[in-house]
Structure 1
Amino acid sequence: MAGLPWICRACRSVASTRGRTHNPTVSRRTVSTNTRFLHISEEVQQAIAEHRPVVALESTIYTHGFPYPDNLSLASRLESLVRVNGGVPATIGILDGIARVGMSAEGLIQLVSSAGKPGLLKVSRRDLGFVCGLTGADGKPLNGGTTVSATMILAHRAGIRVFATGGLGGVHRGAEQTMDVSADLTELGRTPVAVISSGCKSFLDIPKTLEYLETQGVAVATFADGRTGAVEFPAFYSRESGVTSPMVVRDEVEAARVIYAHAELGLQSGLHFANPIPARHSIPHRQMEAAIHEALGNAALAGATGAASTPYILAKIKELTGGKSVVANKALVEANVVRGTKVAVALGKLEMERADRHDRPESQVVGPGASNFTSTGVSLGVSAADTEAPVTASTTTRTLEPPPPSDAAASAADLPAAVFVAGSLNVDLACDFAPRTGSVAHGPELQTSNPATIAQSLGGVGHNVARAAHLMGANVRLCSAVGDDLSGKAALDALAASEMSAAGVKILPAESGSRTSQYVAINDRNKDLVLAMADVSILEQTAEASALAQSFDNFWLPQLQHSKPSHLVLDANWPAQHLARWLQAGKHAGAQIAFEPVSNVKGAALFQLPKPYSLDVFPDPSVHLATPNTHELVALYQAARASGAFERMDWWEVIDALGIPSTGARVQMALATSSDLVDRGIPQQSIQLLPFIPSICTKLGAQGVLLTQLLPANDPRLSSGEYAPYILSRCTNETEETLGVGGVYMRLFPAVETVKAEDVVSVNGVGDTFAGTLIAGLAKRGTGARVEELVDLAQRAAVLTLKSTESVSPGLGTLRLLL
């Protein structure tokens, strides 16, 4: 499945399966073998095998609920919501006569783009055999969106326990005459899948629907959603229906407990958890009832009955509510998907907790979802202010050890990755000054203790770049190091929780003096930085006999040689000695190498490699892409000049072949960029670096991005009218054939969005997000992918992070389909 990484599918095997033997509960989740008529995606199969939370999503809402491309946008949004909340989405539909559990981006686009066309079918249980077994009038296989009943069947075949959707079918009003009862209800009576929805459609007969579900033996409950006392079953667009819910659950954990007990008892009926629409989108029940009565009357007059009645009634309700019903529909389905994912995550933790208690001595149990590394309970992403008691470390030292491979996924290190990111992994602590009520103090007082809210998160340039690429769907492995300490344990736990592989993270022994990198920021009451402290010494070991040097030879190099990734990203936190090793190994593996300078000082290491290492130049450069900001670009230029790189004959031959006149090209540069940038020397310095780095994306903040590229000879862009405004120069001498130099492409990409100061949450990780998104796009699009086609998308991703409290915005998944 394009863009869905093996290594990310396997990442939970690093943390959640170590040290376990037989698990009688989880082993029931098995994946049916793919057949001629059923295909379960690799990602879903892997997630099921590793006991990770999977959430089924139906496709009728896309094929018969919304027009194209609105339905595609919704599909992307819902899958992203599942991923952001810790689950794996499994969109289910029928494509080319095959029932698919987990659809690729290409397949989903193919399915939903035909919405509204007569050949696209609405598939229930009764239709599955027909749609998969027959062809259309044109002799081609059939396509269809699956309803709740068909989705339940296929989800169950795949071993998926939780299904989130908008609303159920039910007993139609007047069913005593028409016998119109949705197949969704009978399916719930015989297929053990938990369905989270906002109840049945409000134009149905809710009391009769609940009665029918009781007859079918279906467990029905409503989420209290903060309410106490009697809670009413929701009426889809409205939070209340006038009908008391049969049962009530307070939260996702309680729902998970019900599902777990239901399965343990061997019950083969389904469960329905009704999630009320968010209050701000709820339409008053009386207002909806008036619109429904009118819509039902119009349907009767129009003769819309059976399967045709629902779309007719929904269209009429949309008209009568002035479109409010459509807005409400989107809001409730998003809320249901989030709720369903949290239920699936809670269920997975519950199963793992019970499995741990079954498999380990009671004294070793440390709680749901806890790692087997230590018993300290330290984790990332939890604010110290939110904990009920201070976190204390155990007095017993336990060594962090790499996990043994799981039966389901073997060792994650043995699974190839398309993108390697080698760089820093930090534990970041943000200490926000939190003065007591009534205090006028703006910032912390020196030389004493201050009240604060302390939050932990993962950071580091390497981690941020890898995280961004991972969220954009690339198959990523982060290569970094942590110490054998509490911070290292927390970092590994957090990686597992974010569904990223820890296979490339080396745990360096305590006796080597290695400490997990940490960054501590002390902020005032407005969260503006007062002071920061950083300890990143773990990657600064330069001795050949150091633990870091040994790790490269014995740990990272074998993984790189095995995977042969298409792309390798290096951040400048590595000292020059190890940076040289990575460059040499990456080139030998055939990877396209990108360089993230990190800072003015650290970026200079690229031109300070120890002998006999030195950077190769075009047409076979050591580095293919760099993503500096303007200050880092100047530092790179100065380091290159200081090192004598601009005195090399091979550098001069390439520069001379670029076709830039001896008088310079100031006017052309100013037209391609801006007079301000030319006055600052940014385009000129970029060009002089091109022989060593033939593609440079200089991040200009609010001014956008300047892309400078060395184009090879015979590149079609050199003769394209579309690209003509950006071709700064062309090779005009006889070296075109011998050196392969074609010319210089220079283009200033304006910022994709003007972000107001009040909307900026944090600048941390913005540049890393840009780089990670860019690399993800190049890796996923493969041979022929062009940087200029991805710059605006990478900028959009950076804007999401700019508005996020996290170093990489979890919302990046919403952009994945654009790749």
Structure 2
Amino acid sequence: MASLPWACRACRAAAGTRRRLHTPATSTRSISTDSRFFHVSEEVRQAIAERRPVVALESTIYTHGFPYPANLSLASRLESLVRINGGVPATIGILDGVARVGMGAEELIRLVSSAGQPGLLKVSRRDLGFVCGLTGADGKALNGGTTVSATMILAHMAGIRVFATGGLGGVHRGAEQSMDVSADLTELGRTPVAVISSGCKSFLDIPKTLEYLETQGVAVATFADGREGAVDFPAFWSRDSGVASPMVVRCETEAARVIHAHTSLGLQSGLHFANPIPAQHSIPQQDMEAAIYEALNKATSAGATGAASTPYILAKIKELTGDRSVVANRALVEANVIRGTRVAVALRTLESEEADRPDRPESQVVGPGASDFTSTGVSLGIGAPGGMYTLVPASTSTTATAPEPPTASATTSITDRPADIFVAGSLNVDLSCDFAPRAGSSTHTPELQTSNPATIAQSLGGVAHNVARAAHLMGASVRLCSAVGDDLAGKAALDALAASDMSAAGVKTLPAASGSRTSQYVAINDRNKDLVLAMADVSILEDTAEDSALSQTFANFWLPQLQRARPTHLALDANWAPQHLGRWLAAGQSIGAHIAFEPVSTAKAAALFHLPQPYTLAVYPHASVHLATPNTHELAALYHAARASGAFERDDWWHVIDALGIPATGARVQLALATSSALVDQGVPQQTLQLLPFIPCICTKLGAQGVLLTQLLAANDPRLRSGEDAPYILSRCTNGTEDTALGVGGVYMRLFPAVEHVAAEAIVSVNGVGDTFAGTLLAGLAKRGPGARVEGLVDVAQRAAVLTLKSRESVSPGLGTLGRLL
């Protein structure tokens, strides 16, 4: 053991306190995170070393339960739920023949994006050796989602004791003839991990499943979930099964006490805590039994047996119940992850209290996998039940205090804490109308002045909401500042906002007497889902009367919040009337915030150059706006608005332009080399240069052509002297003003190609794609802090935009998987 680069806490104990129990040395194996077959992520290693709550998550639900990109959205959602409730998620899967505990964003995307492909494996205990051992043979690179049994094994190897999942495998009906018993049950009999699920799927034999678990020595209990007395063991889609649960626990703390006692006694079997599906999503047992009966008959007729039976039966149940079972499935998984995380948090709290007890014994028995894990490695007892145990002196414990499971009030206080980013603008109820011509039609675009067949979806949107949502999913601390009317749409918007775990502290409901209506947006898209026409009612942000409800809300509601929180970044969308936009700009400047501007549309972009007195758009080095993210149409609108308003005739604008070092003869060749001849012909780079004095950093979104970044560099910027950045330095200051207060150093211009070519058939909706890009940039700038460079964030922002392009929602829920790239 001493020869390993690192080892478990037990193995570092003093030699005089060591004694081995139960098993000989030959049953002990050691494995490190540097093994070619096993890897634990840095985040999970660190969390376990610091004794923070870690929750294991399986991956077959993504690889074999949901299609891409819905599975990526679910993965992001479940990991977010773990974090929100005080834990660290550890998604487990097999990628390139390596069992991974805690998958990074790109790893997870690689795994789940191959869902439905025949080469993607469903990996149980029996398969681990094959998948890991045969990778590399004949050029194979084997990937797979881990089932409950494989996830338990790998979680235990990493020192994770709590695992949350959807449902447990069980004994199949008719098992007395088929001998069809899930490996999940035998794994629970020999791997000491606490599994939180909604019981076994109700097409299984629940009484026999519980009998088998008892034979295996598995502790089984059901959460009372507010009920008194005896309760049923749940039947997955239904809260009740008609079969009484062996034991009942009232809360997460009671479950944690059971796990703590179980581990302290050195028991090597697992535990199963059944969490009933939330009542509002429960499907009556009699309804499910009718669907199950028909599905089982069809499976028998089709000859679906063994491993093929469960997928076949699930597909038939989905077909027979419509979306009810799918909605219920997702709801119960989310509830189990929340419950499992709170159990893990309660367990850490309990262990901390035990460590601080004055009557605590001088030594304790610690079993293999019981968090004997350091930030650099792990030594594990693997083999027959029992394994290797070591008597550990109490002085070696480094248990940290874990937070209490969050209550509703605690969650509110966390959600409404001061934010690093304020995003001010529209919160809409969106309607997306995708033209859906009948089969055989060659028509590409909907016809005017008549009705057209379409697929219509409703969601929460609005530019500011989308930007804030993207930044939130990328892990930034965000507050959305907007207004809704006291109407049905407003109530729906607030409910949807709360359901997405975003703070509503900055959203004001304006009284009905003010005539305010909740913003709504209707997008008409062609058959390729490209925007044809959009209609937006955001009049709620346009009332400019001094005594209007909106003006009073700014002075008495938003401004105090901004001044108290003093966020480092403020993002504004152009849905504000120029007067309100000016107020927000002045307020952001007063607290020294980095201000970003999202132009919204060609019609509204011009508001930036039509600010009323006393507001004036300032230029570099005191620019009012630091970053803008227009598309090419919005860029042109900004350029023409600046010209029409006389902004290009201002002396302070000319001083900056003169200092940029652009030759008087123009820079067509340099611009073409930096971008492309086509972009130069359109005038795109030229327009960004002329706008730089007012907006020193412009990210122009070019769709399939990528992103053009144009930014003004200060005279002391190290990029002006960097060989790596030299290809992107378009010009340098040549008029001698670089050492003056103006301090212009030059221009950085870089064309980033698109990160992925997305086929037309893979595009789900273009709505919110640009907003996702902007929100991701903001999140990166805020998380990386002062000195963060935009060019280091464009790639991940494009990746986020692609996820939204493939999502029905205005911002893809899968963004959370990219958060670690910032």
SS at match of 1:735: coil
Give 2:76's aligned residue: 80
Check conservation: 2:531, 2:766, Cα contact below 8 A: no
Return closer, same or farther for 1:796/1:259 CA change in 2, 3 Å cut-off.
Answer: farther
Return closer, same or farther for 1:510/1:78 CA change in 2, 3 Å cut-off.
Answer: closer
Check conservation: 2:56, 2:155, Cα contact below 8 A: no
Per-residue CA deviations over 1:298-331 (Å, capped at 9, x if unaligned) read xxxxxxxxxxxxxxxxxxxxxxxxxxxxxxxxxx
Check conservation: 1:488, 1:516, Cα contact below 8 A: yes
Give the number of aligned pairs.
567
Give 2:136's aligned residue: none
Q: Which runs of 5+ in 2 are unaligned?
A: 1-46, 61-70, 91-100, 109-151, 171-185, 202-207, 224-231, 259-270, 278-291, 293-297, 309-326, 341-406
Give 2:56's aligned residue: 57
Post-superposition offset of 1:59: 10
Give 1:633's aligned residue: 635
The match for 2:549 among 543, 547, 550 is 547
1:500 aligns with 2:492: no
Partner Cα separation in structure 1 for residue 624 and residue 671 of structure 2: 27
Check conservation: 2:237, 2:329, Cα contact below 8 A: no
SS at match of 2:248: helix
Return closer, same or farther for 1:660/1:182 CA change in 2, 3 Å cut-off.
Answer: same
Check conservation: 2:83, 2:89, Cα contact below 8 A: no
Post-superposition offset of 1:520: 3.6
SS at match of 1:249: coil
Give 2:808's aligned residue: 805
Check conservation: 2:429, 2:460, Cα contact below 8 A: yes
Return closer, same or farther for 1:798/1:434 CA change in 2, 3 Å cut-off.
Answer: closer
Give 1:249's aligned residue: 235
Check conservation: 2:467, 2:771, Cα contact below 8 A: yes
Check conservation: 1:413, 1:504, Cα contact below 8 A: no
440-449 vs 673-682, which moves further: 440-449
TM-score, length of structure 2 as denominator length = 0.59
Partner Cα separation in structure 2 for residue 676 and residue 440 of structure 1: 30
Partner Cα separation in structure 1 for residue 330 and residue 88 of structure 2: 15
Post-superposition offset of 1:91: 3.4
Q: Which runs of 5+ in 1 are unaligned?
A: 1-34, 45-55, 62-74, 94-101, 110-144, 156-160, 169-180, 200-205, 222-245, 289-334, 349-404
Check conservation: 1:87, 1:344, Cα contact below 8 A: no
- Corresponding letter in the other structure for 2:88: T
Give 2:821's aligned residue: 818
601-610 vs 799-808, which moves further: 799-808
Check conservation: 1:800, 1:812, Cα contact below 8 A: yes
Partner Cα separation in structure 1 for residue 242 and residue 644 of structure 2: 63
Per-residue CA deviations over 1:440-481 (Å, capped at 9, x if unaligned) read 999999999999875421111111111111111111111110
For 1:475-490, list aligned pairs within 5 A.
Answer: 475-490=477-492
Post-superposition offset of 1:574: 0.2
SS at match of 1:554: helix
Give 2:770's aligned residue: 767
Give 1:3's aligned residue: none
Return closer, same or farther for 1:625/1:270 CA change in 2, 3 Å cut-off.
Answer: same
Partner Cα separation in structure 2 for residue 627 and residue 477 of structure 1: 20
- Corresponding letter in the other structure for 1:742: G
- Corresponding letter in the other structure for 2:334: K
1:342 aligns with 2:341: no
Check conservation: 1:426, 1:458, Cα contact below 8 A: yes
SS at match of 1:270: strand
1:263 aligns with 2:249: yes
Give 1:795's aligned residue: 798
Give 1:749's aligned residue: 752
Partner Cα separation in structure 2 for residue 560 and residue 257 of structure 1: 55
Partner Cα separation in structure 2 for residue 419 and residue 260 of structure 1: 50
Return closer, same or farther for 1:691/1:255 CA change in 2, 3 Å cut-off.
Answer: farther
Per-residue CA deviations over 1:784-805 (Å, capped at 9, x if unaligned) read 2111111121111111111221
SS at match of 2:422: strand
Give 1:776's aligned residue: 779
Check conservation: 2:712, 2:744, Cα contact below 8 A: yes
Give 2:592's aligned residue: 590
- Corresponding letter in the other structure for 1:705: V
**Identical counterparts, % of pairs:** 62
Return closer, same or farther for 1:726/1:412 CA change in 2, 3 Å cut-off.
Answer: same
Give 2:227's aligned residue: none
For 1:201-240, list aligned pairs within 5 A.
Answer: 210-212=212-214, 215-218=217-220
Return closer, same or farther for 1:409/1:632 CA change in 2, 3 Å cut-off.
Answer: same
Return closer, same or farther for 1:257/1:469 CA change in 2, 3 Å cut-off.
Answer: farther
Partner Cα separation in structure 1 for residue 639 and residue 762 of structure 2: 34
Post-superposition offset of 1:526: 8.9
Post-superposition offset of 1:414: 5.8
SS at match of 2:665: coil
440-449 vs 579-588, which moves further: 440-449
Return closer, same or farther for 1:166/1:660 CA change in 2, 3 Å cut-off.
Answer: farther
- Corresponding letter in the other structure for 2:786: T
Partner Cα separation in structure 2 for residue 706 and residue 37 of structure 1: 43
Partner Cα separation in structure 1 for residue 718 and residue 434 of structure 2: 53
SS at match of 2:739: helix
Return closer, same or farther for 1:466/1:39 CA change in 2, 3 Å cut-off.
Answer: same
Return closer, same or farther for 1:515/1:76 CA change in 2, 3 Å cut-off.
Answer: closer
TM-score, length of structure 1 as denominator length = 0.59
Return closer, same or farther for 1:255/1:407 CA change in 2, 3 Å cut-off.
Answer: farther
SS at match of 1:594: strand
Give 1:674's aligned residue: 676
Return closer, same or farther for 1:659/1:811 CA change in 2, 3 Å cut-off.
Answer: same
Partner Cα separation in structure 2 for residue 762 and residue 77 of structure 1: 15
Check conservation: 2:632, 2:701, Cα contact below 8 A: yes
The match for 2:471 among 457, 466, 469 is 469
Partner Cα separation in structure 1 for residue 744 and residue 242 of structure 2: 62
Post-superposition offset of 1:148: 5.2
Partner Cα separation in structure 2 for residue 443 and residue 711 of structure 1: 44
Partner Cα separation in structure 2 for residue 339 and residue 503 of structure 1: 26
Partner Cα separation in structure 2 for residue 286 and residue 707 of structure 1: 56
Return closer, same or farther for 1:726/1:761 CA change in 2, 3 Å cut-off.
Answer: same
Partner Cα separation in structure 2 for residue 250 and residue 164 of structure 1: 8
Per-residue CA deviations over 1:38-95 (Å, capped at 9, x if unaligned) read 6447xx9xxxxxxxxxxx316999xxxxxxxxxxxxx9998525157898573368xx
Check conservation: 2:189, 2:216, Cα contact below 8 A: no
For 1:383-462, list aligned pairs within 5 A.
Answer: 407-408=409-410, 415-430=417-432, 455-462=457-464
Return closer, same or farther for 1:336/1:105 CA change in 2, 3 Å cut-off.
Answer: farther
For 1:285-434, list aligned pairs within 5 A.
Answer: 341-344=333-336, 407-408=409-410, 415-430=417-432
What is the RMSD computed on CA atoms of the aligned residues? 5.3
Check conservation: 2:632, 2:684, Cα contact below 8 A: yes
Check conservation: 1:196, 1:336, Cα contact below 8 A: no
- Corresponding letter in the other structure for 1:580: G
